[in-house]
A and B are shown apart, each in its own frame.
Chain A
Amino acid sequence: MPTVKSLDDLKKIREEALKKQQLKETAGKSEVIVGMGTVGIAAGARETLKAILDMIEAENLSDIVVRQTGNIGLDSFEPIVQVILAGQEKVTYGKVSPDMAKRIMKEHVVGGEIITEYQIKE
């Protein structure tokens, strides 16, 4: 089936992304992980992850790796989001709604400030 999107378009996107990466080579990547086990999914983890992706798209945030993982083992705190900034300790947040996820993206991942009120102390 013909699609309006071609891989040539994607190659252009790639060139642009590489140019941006060269500009901020030293910054390093941030990692955001969302728990996606059965309990997490039932508690709304997909919507939490979607809010994170929407935020990256809307705010044009580069150099953020978003990962999903199976069960983290903290069922009563699902949905769980973990943030690892380059060279820093992992921070674990619990019961993260889409709105909370957006705040985490803005204040912690971009701003570098941990939101202690959402944090789970392991």
Chain B
Amino acid sequence: MRELALHILDIAENSISAGATRIKVSVNENLKDDLLRIIIEDNGRGMDIATLARITDPFVTSRTTRKVGLGLPFFKAAAEACEGSLNIQSEPGVGTTVTVFFKHSHIDRMPLGDLCSTLLTLILGTPDVHWLFEYRMNDETFEFDDEPVKEALAGVSLTEPAVMRFIREMIEEGIADTRQKASHAIDHRQ
């Protein structure tokens, strides 16, 4: 996978498979400390210590259709190649949190990629999950919670063309706006 946004999609799919009803994706580009942090937090069924210890092993998977799971080990390897790390906290019956760090400026760090497409895939494609998204760059933050949107829609499908356009523009503009404000703040300091 050539984009961090695709890895985010892959990890969030694990959360869906774990039966999560609430999933939060946070992306934090901290240019001051040269860190990129990604957190995917769910309230799914979680894992016990033994499974947790083996989960980044490429030959472990919870799936039954095929015996090799490669998503997490690949993501971990990508982070470690960029002076970063991948950590998983999990508790049975409570949920799982995957936290990934990258050195932001590392030459081997793959681009963040199309975050908006990843989020739309998740929000529109799994409407039963309550999705939360936070994008942060330095001191600027954009937050998106799909619950008020669903309440306002009161049963109208998220994939109606006008609804989809609304959500897409909301996220695209939110991310672009945050980036613009953050870079303005940097210009001011200089």
Contact = CB atoms under 8 A, between A and B. Distances in A.
Interface of A: 1, 3-5, 7, 9-11, 13-14, 16-18, 21, 29, 34, 36-39, 41-42, 46-47, 49-50, 53, 56-57, 60-68, 70-73, 75
Contact of A36 (B125, B143, B148, B162): B125
A21 B70 CA distance: 43
Contact of A68 (B126, B156, B168): B126
B20 interface: no
A117 B148 CA distance: 43
Contacts of A10: 149, 152-153, 163, 166
Contacts of A66: 124-125, 159
Interface in B49-95: 63, 65-66, 69-71
Nearest to A75: B66
Interface in B130-182: 140-143, 148-149, 152-154, 156-157, 159-166, 168-170, 173-174, 177-178
A62 B117 CA distance: 20
B13 interface: yes
24 contacts: A1-B140, A4-B173, A5-B169, A7-B152, A9-B166, A13-B166, A14-B153, A17-B157, A18-B156, A34-B125, A37-B63, A38-B69, A39-B66, A41-B13, A46-B9, A46-B117, A50-B117, A50-B120, A50-B121, A53-B120, A56-B159, A56-B164, A62-B160, A70-B13
Contacts, number: 114
A5 B174 CA distance: 10
Contacts of B153: 10, 14
B10 A41 contact: yes
Contacts of A18: 156
Nearest to A12: B162
Nearest to B61: A38
Contacts of A63: 157
